[in-house]
Amino acid sequence: MLYREALKKAMDELMEEDETVVVLGEDVGFYGGNYRVTEGLYAKYGEKRVIDTPIAENSIVGNAIGMAIGGLRPVAEIMTVNFSLIAYDQIVNEAAKIRYMSGGKVSLPLTIRMPQGVAKQLAAQHSQSFERIYASIPGLRVFTASDSITAYYGLKQAILLDDPVVFLEHELLYAQDFDFIDIPHFDVRKQRLIKEGNDITVVSYLKMLHDTLEAIKDIEKDLGISVEVIELTSLNPLNLDKVYESVKKTKRLVVVNEEPKTGSFATEIITKVIENNFYDLDAPPLRICGEDVPTPYNRKLELLSIPTPDKIYKKIIEWGKENGL
């Protein structure tokens, strides 16, 4: 199933079941969405439930907050995470705090969908990743969708929550076709074991998960080891029980994500693992992240600024040989 179709399937099924579920954003209606995620929903549900908005992200989120307070279950689409900065005050100072500042009297069933990451030559202002920013805000839930399974199940669970959720997608995954299976008891908060292994635990999410899996085939062959891979589907709340158990077995941890290394979410994961598994580790954890630079427009420089399968392979091979593998 295509990634974008899984996202639409989640919204379509909930819109059929519950007339309070509405969608709003730039070009989500007649045009079907910038990435075709909402294609067909406007014709099926009409302009009152699939709402085209002006190019005004602060207004989109502000109106969605009002809808949620008024009893609706809105899904607001921000065209990319880069534009969410314009709505940052509404997301952080309003959405995240309303339940707490009302003494629990007002819940906010709001989902804010937005893609992030480096696509292809969109330059510095349109190629950012902000999971570290949103996951650090108390009151927000932050989920990620790395394939069609987490896109479908994760988005459904986000929409059904009574708390505000930032739902992060990746710009290069919308047209990807992933295997899809029914998982009746899927829980977005529990992370996913993607591949079992015995010698290294690798944690990743979004597009970097797939680049990591591509690199691991050669890493296992050349080092003669097996690698365990865990996908983070929820960054807030951050339940790392699967990672802790895996590190007890493998004794080694690698985290791969796309955002710049300094202050990246990889740092938070590694900190928690060290706090929990300090005496289990046989090697210092490895972060493979983006470089600490604004993303260049030049394609060669752009690829140098982010992890790629080849870069992931070289860094893990070098680190593995330095640490007894």
Q: Looking at 5, 57, 94, 228, which residue is catalytic? A: 57
259 flagged as catalytic: no
231 flagged as catalytic: no
Q: Looking at 16, 17, 47, 126, which residue is catalytic? A: 126
Torsion sign (Cα): 8, 11, 16, 22: negative
Q: Are strands 141-144 and 234-236 parallel, antiparallel or unpaired?
A: antiparallel
> Which residues are catalytically annotated?
57, 126
